[in-house]
């Protein structure tokens, strides 16, 4: 979807998961375990703790033929919506940290993003989940990012849109492993 005044487009996806809402939500909040499931090759919490509202997470996306992209996102787990809906609705949203001076990277992370990488300072997105019954969840996912650097937004948006389905399928596979560490009060 095009957005007036922006080069980057928003990618959307919707799916019905054969997974309880609390299990799916927990899986989505374990970013450091998503490498290998999604195109992201490296994730690291740079502020806060796993599963925590307001945590900042570094992500690195390797790209062939052009410079790798990296960003730090700030997560909101929206505990109020879970509480007020008695666990029928959950939301995980994020915005990119626009300023590289607002976080500190450990030495390993610094090395991963050094060299010919491009810092992405505009990204946002969300997962919105609705409990259909005790074993099924409707999930809506969107992602909007400007890749920065010398890559035109058109090809980047095409890539982002094609990764929507891959991300949905990855969350489905990971949530079904049952090896989840995040838990939330419903």
How far is the C-alpha of 53 from the C-alpha of 44, rounded, in Å? Answer: 15
Tokens of 112: 């991963």
**Which residues neighbour 127 within 8 Å (Cβ) at sequence distance 6 or greater?**
25, 28, 90, 91, 92, 93, 139, 140, 141, 171
Three-state DSSP string of 79-101: HHHHHHCCCCEEEEEEEECCCHH
The predicted structure's pLDDT at residue 154:
55
CB 176 within 8 A of CB 19: yes
Write the pLDDT tens digit of every residue in 113-133.
998 899 998 899 999 999 999
Kind and range of the H or E run holding 13: strand 10-17
- pLDDT band at residue 108 using 50, 70 and 90 as cut-offs: very high
The predicted structure's pLDDT at residue 153:
55
Instruction: Examine the pLDDT at 159 and tell me if it is beyond 70.
Output: no
Instruction: Examine the pLDDT at 27 and tell me if it is beyond 90.
Output: yes
Q: Which of residues 152 and 72 earns the better pLDDT score?
A: 72
**How close are the terminal C-alpha atoms of the chain, in Å?**
33
Q: Indicate the pTM of the whole model.
A: 0.89
């Amino acid at each position: 979807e095009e957005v007036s005044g922006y080069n980057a487009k928003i990618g959307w996806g919707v799916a019905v998961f054969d997974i309880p809402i609390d299990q799916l939500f927990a899986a989505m909040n374990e970013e450091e375990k998503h490498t290998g499931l999604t195109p992201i090759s490296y994730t690291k919490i740079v502020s806060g703790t796993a599963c925590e509202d307001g945590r900042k997470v570094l992500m690195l996306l390797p790209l062939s033929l052009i410079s790798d992209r990296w960003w730090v996102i700030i997560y909101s787990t929206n505990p109020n919506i879970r509480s007020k809906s008695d666990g029928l609705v959950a939301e995980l949203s994020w915005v990119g940290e626009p300023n590289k001076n607002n976080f500190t990277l450990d030495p390993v992370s610094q090395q991963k993003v050094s060299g010919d990488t491009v810092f992405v300072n505009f990204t946002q997105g969300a997962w919105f989940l609705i409990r259909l019954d005790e074993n099924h969840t409707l999930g809506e996912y969107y992602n909007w990012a400007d890749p920065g650097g010398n890559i035109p937004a058109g090809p980047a948006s095409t890539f982002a849109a094609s990764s929507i389905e891959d991300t949905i399928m990855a969350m489905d596979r990971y949530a079904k492993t049952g090896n989840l560490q995040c838990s939330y009060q419903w």
